[in-house]
Structures are given as structure tokens and as C-alpha cells.
Structure 1
Amino acid sequence: MSQAAALPDAIREIERTATDCAATTPKPVVLVTGADLAAPAMRLLSDCDVVFAGKTPTEDDIVALCAQHDPVAIIVRYSKVGERAMAAAPSLKVVSKHGSGTDTIDKVAARARGIEVVAAAGANAAAVAEQALALLLACAKSVTALDARMHSGHWDKATHKSLELGGRTIGLIGLGAIGQRFAKMVDAMGMRVIGFDPCAKDLPVYIQSVDLETIWRESDVVSLHCPMTDDNRNLVNASTLASCKPGVVIVNTARGGLVNEADLLAALQSGQVASAGLDSFQVEPMSPGHPFQGAAHLTLSPHIGGVTSDAYVNMGVAAAKNALAVIAQHAVAA
């Protein structure tokens, strides 16, 4: 056989070898602590083997899946990712949050193992800010209580008085992407906006930066938009609520652990807090018989502030991109 005639055979052999290698070389595993990801995010992860943990995975489920699949990345939607999960996945390089809050990830354990923790900061800012506004308006205008009364055949026009928000002071704790977006909304309603965030810089002119004591003392409404840390757990408690104006409104679309629930309920019952709108809770999902259930002047939603069709795509894409960027960095370094 001539050298020219042998060349196509050689090329076919190279292609066959490459195909065999691709078939036998496992794809990097990405574990998703949920049941799904948006289609655009899945397309980004097409070169990975994506494993889903299901709708309501426990921390033990995550540990078992890490031991079984040894993921290079975990995209966190639900449950906790702690030291046990990280120890069970020696190939793990990155834990990427499908959202902005990383309090369900053990960042100390991750740092000790050289695992990066990244978040989809700002991906759900519009959704959560809109939920905060919805809860604020529901509280100020007694939307849910009046709706229930109307459906029961009542007409409370002669006896009901709502809270007018224009000209009132709203104190925002946390001035990241969500807090600043919400600030723009309430400024447009004519509210005076004060805010506390030691990390925030170059704030827009309609946000007045103040200390926490001023937030409690001057606010007619206090709205939480900060991550939860060991330092600010139970930030809203009997003492801070007592420092507020009588009849203050509390809104929380951040993390449930920021609010001492027993203290808030007592303040609602005494009238120190006129109303509260909550989208997150100390234990989720809320257990049957929780003291909040049926409580007056309390509007609740099941931690769905960031759950919109747009935010679902934005968070999935950002989480996938963040994970892939870290994986690529490690590949180059290797």
C-alpha cells in the first residue's frame, strides 16, 4: 500500500482512538442540590455530567451523593452543603450558589479545603425587591386582612385606616443589589430612605447612609436586605424593636435567622410593631402549628421572593457560569 493510500486509514484510526477516549473518559460531575436547572444553564453545562439531588434533599442526601459521584462542583439550590459533603467529594473545586445568600454553605470548611464559594449576586435582585415592595404594601394597606373580610361579606370602609407611605422614613439594612433596587422603588413613592451597610460605596443620592441606631430610632419601616452572619443573627429582637418607633413596620425578604421570631410576635401582640411582612423564616418549611400561623397583622410568603421565571433563568445561568469559571481556572493551573 502506498503512503498516500495509507493516510486515510491512519486518520480514521486517530479519530476512532479519540472517540474511544472520549467514551471512556468520564465527564466532570456537577451536583445540583435541587430537581432542575433552567435550560440555558443546562446548555452551559453540556460538557459535564449533571446530577440532581431532587426536590427536597436533606444534608445527608447531599453527603451520600458526593460520596457516590465525587462532583467537581456543587450548585446549591436547597439544603446545606457542609464539611461532611466536602470531605466526601475529594475532587470538589467550587460550591456555586443558585442565588445570592451563601449562609447554607460552610465557608470556613470550604476555605480550609481550598474550595471556592461563589454566588449569583444580583441575579434575583429585581424579583426580591418586588417581593419586598409587595409585602410592604400588603402591610401598609392591610391587603390580605381586608381581602379576607370582603370575602366574608364585610365592608370596613367606615372603620379601617391604612398607612400612607409617602413622606415616611424607611430604613434599609443591607444595600447590595437588592437593597438598592428596593430603595429606588420606595424613593419613587416619596419615602425618605436611610440605610445601613458598612460595605456599600458610591450610594445614590436618595439613600442616606446612617448607623444602625439611627435605623431603629428614625424608621417608620425597617426592611432587611443583608446576608446572615454569626454577628447579625437575631438582629431584630426585643431590644432593637423596643428602640423603634411605636407602630413600626418590619419587612424581611433576606434570611429568617435575622429575626427573633418570638420577640417579633410579642411586639406584634403589644402593638410596638404595627405589622410585618416576612418571606423567610428560622426553620423552613414552616412547621404546622407555628405561632405565626393565624397571627394578626402578619403577612407571610414561603420564601419565594426570588422565585420568578426570569430569576430562575438568571440564577441558573449565573451559577453555572460561576462554577465553570472556577473549574477552568483549576484546569489551567493544572
Structure 2
Amino acid sequence: MSQKPVFLVTGSDLAPQALALLGDYEVVYAGKTPTEEGIVALCKQHDPVAIIVRYSKVGAAAMDAAPSLKVISKHGSGTDTIDKVAAAARGIPVVAAVGANAAAVAEQALALLLACAKSVVGLNERMHAGHWDKATHKSVELEGRTVGVIGLGAIGQRFARMADAMGMRVLGFDPYAKDLPSYITTVDLDTLWREADAISLHCPLTPDNARLISAQTLAACKPGVIIVNTARGGLIDEDALLEAIRSGRVASAGLDSFAIEPMTAPHPFHGEPRIVLSPHIGGVTADAYVKMGVAAAQNALAVLNR
């Protein structure tokens, strides 16, 4: 046991700026690919007062293995990997670095939307293969088109602002959002499915919205809709999306998160020319790494210092 109280980080590193805030604590790392069992073992060994959650899940077993645990702090905004019911039952606050990665994720969503609309990946591959498709290719112009933004927290609002700046009409759905800017028109989901030319997901994953994008909701969408997901993979029924892509009902999809991560190989999405993939790196920039680490440390310390 350490002389200093312990912060357990479910990852292999933390930004130096965040570590500088934790001088009164010993910081223990769970490694690059921690498992739930490994986290439980480290909790038993070190009895941390705080856990900063980067990767893997933190459930009731980990909480019970750390009787000194006072706070669980997410290195990011999405807390679906933390058993919040178990934490609440044990009086352990769960805090998140809301907004720390908003710019990074919103930019990734815009990049995926543009990659889909402009066929960036496919044209790049054709050019490298020696083709010149100017006479046969037409991209989608986003100005004047309608984008539906589901989830209007810090990330969704930032994405909406960029879409508005490109001349897009922005429809938004979020039953909890208040005081929204004038360029977001709030609508119900039925209206959003019916009117959006592109849909971008920015909501947390909950039991109520799992597989929000399904065969049924895709059937209600405009033919040729573009789907972008930089939130959580569980929001999409992946089999239904693949079928809609292959039938042409969905023109293309830009995906940064998946039902199972890391993505299994081979995966049905592999080789699909109208699906653009990235490995859940929307929030992974040098700047966001520092912002999220500092916010996660500050949020945990704020609870410990109450």
C-alpha cells in the first residue's frame, strides 16, 4: 500500500498537465487495454480514492473492491462504461469532463459528413489507381440541405454551429436541451427522420435509445440520407444500417463508434465502399487529451476536496 492515497487510471497514461494537479496522490495505471477483472484486482491491491476512467468498464465489483473510493471521473463526456446505478447505491459521485473534447468530436463528425458527401475516400483511391473521374462523378452539395442533429450537448451544438456556417438547415432533437441558439430548429424524431438529408448522432447511449437507428427508423428517413455517428456504436443497429446502405436507402455512412470495440475482424462493414470508418478517435487529439485529462483530474479533486 502506498503512503499517498491512490488515483487509479484505467489507461496507460495521463497528460502531464493533469498529473501536475495530482501531486498529493500516487497515480496507478491499468495499462493500454485494461479488463474489468484487471481493474477489480488493482482496486483490491491499491484501494484508490478516485478512478479516472479512460478504457474498459467500471462496475459494482470494482467499487466494492475499493472501500476508500470517493469519486469516479470520466476522461471524456460519455459515462456509459460506468455503472452509475451501482455508484449511486454506494454514494459514489460520477463526474465527466463534459465539453473537454467537444471541438475534437464535432470536427470529426464534420469530417465524416464531408467525406461521405464528397466521396473523399473513394475518389482518393481511384486517383491513386490512375483514374480521372471528373466526367462521371457528382458530389453532394451540403449548402441548402437539412441536417438532423440528435443530442444537443456541447458536441452536438458545436457541430450544429459548423453545419449552420456551411449554409445547412439544422434540425435538432434533445428532450433535455434548453436555451438553444436560433439556428437550431427543435423538432420531434418523426419530423427529423422525414426531413433530414443527413443525420448526426451526438447523444449518450441509454437503455431507451439503444438501436435508435434501426430498420424501422431508416425506413422513415429520406431515401439517400447520410448517417454520421461519433457518439456510441450501440445507437445503431449495424445489420439494419448495412442492409440500408446496400439497398441504396442510405447513401453513405461515416462511423467512428461501433457496437463492439475494438471492431472485430473481419467485420460486415469491411470493404463497403460507402461506409467511411475511423477507430473511435473523434475525441483523440493532442489538445483534447490535455483538456480531458485536466478536467478529469479537476472534477475528481473537486469531489475529494469538498
| 1:232-264: CA deviation from partner (whole Å, max 9, x where unpaired) | 000000000000000000000000000010000
Kindly provide the CA deviation profile for residues 256-311 of structure 1, in whole angstroms up to 9, marking residues without a partner as x: 00001000000000000000000000011111100011112000000000000110
Residue 80, structure 1, aligned to residue 57, structure 2: yes
* Equivalent residue letter for 2:304: I
Relative to the length of structure 1, the TM-score reads 0.91
Work out whether 1:125 is the aligned partner of 2:124: no
Per-residue CA deviation, residues 136-170 of structure 1 (Å, 9 max, x unaligned), is 00000000011011111111111111110000000
| 1:206 maps to 2:191 | no
Counterpart of 1:303 in structure 2 is 280
For 1:83 and 1:246, locate their aligned partners in 2 and report how far apart those are by CA, in whole Å: 44
Letter in 2 for 1:39: P
Residues of 2 paired with 1:111 and 1:258: CA distance? 24
Cα distance, 1:27 vs. partner? 1.0
Which of 261, 273, 279 is the equivalent residue of 2:256?
279
1:254 aligned partner: 231
The equivalent of 2:74 in structure 1 is: 97
Q: Tell me how far apart the structure 2 counterparts of residues 261 and 232 of structure 1 sit (CA, whole Å).
A: 14
Counterpart CA distance in 1 for 2:5 and 2:210 is: 37
- Counterpart of 1:130 in 2: which secondary structure? helix
**Contact kept? 2:2, 2:26, Cα under 8 Å:** no
- Which residue of structure 1 aligns with residue 265 of structure 2? 288
Cα contact 2:2–2:46 (8 A) shared by 1 = no
Q: Which amino acid aligns with 1:256?
A: G
Give 3-state SS (helix, strand or coil) of 2:55's partner. Answer: coil
1:282 counterpart SS class: coil
Residue number among 19, 26, 35 corresponding to 2:12 in the alignment: 35
Map 1:148-167 → 2, pairs under 5 A = 148-167=125-144
Matched residue, 2:28: 51
Equivalent in 123, 135, 142 of residue 146 of structure 1: 123
Give me the CA root mean square deviation. Answer: 0.9
Select the residue among 194, 200, 206 that pairs with 1:223. 200
Distance (Å, rounded) in 1 between the aligned partners of 2:254 and 2:169: 20
Structure-1 separation of matches of 2:71 and 2:165 = 40
Question: Looking at CA atoms only, which structure, 1 or 2, has the larger radius of gyration?
Answer: 1
Could you tell me which runs of 5 or more consecutive residues in structure 1 were left unpaired when the two chains were aligned: 1-23, 330-334
- 1:315 is aligned to 292
> Does the CA-based 8 Å contact 2:209-2:235 persist in structure 1?
yes
Structure 2 residues not aligned, in runs of 5+: none
The equivalent of 1:7 in structure 2 is none
Q: Secondary structure at the match of 1:131?
A: helix
Letter in 1 for 2:282: G
Distance 1:79 1:148 in 2: 35
What SS does the aligned partner of 1:267 have? helix
Amino acid across the alignment from 2:175:
P
Alignment of 1:190-201 (within 5 A): 190-201=167-178
Cα shift at 1:25: 8.1
Q: Which among 89, 93, 118 is matched to residue 116 of structure 1? A: 93
Aligned to 1:64: 41
SS in 1 for 2:216: helix
Rounded Cα–Cα distance in structure 2 between residues aligned with 1:90 and 1:305: 35
Q: Secondary structure at the match of 2:87?
A: helix
Counterpart CA distance in 1 for 2:166 and 2:183 is 12
| 2:165 paired with 1:188 | yes
Matching residue's letter, 1:76: V
Q: Deviations over 1:70-107 (max 9, x none)?
A: 10100000000011111111111111000000000000
Matched AA of 2:171: I
In 2: Cα distance, 1:211 partner to 1:237 partner: 17
Residue type of the alignment partner of 2:25: C
Aligned AA (2:187) = V
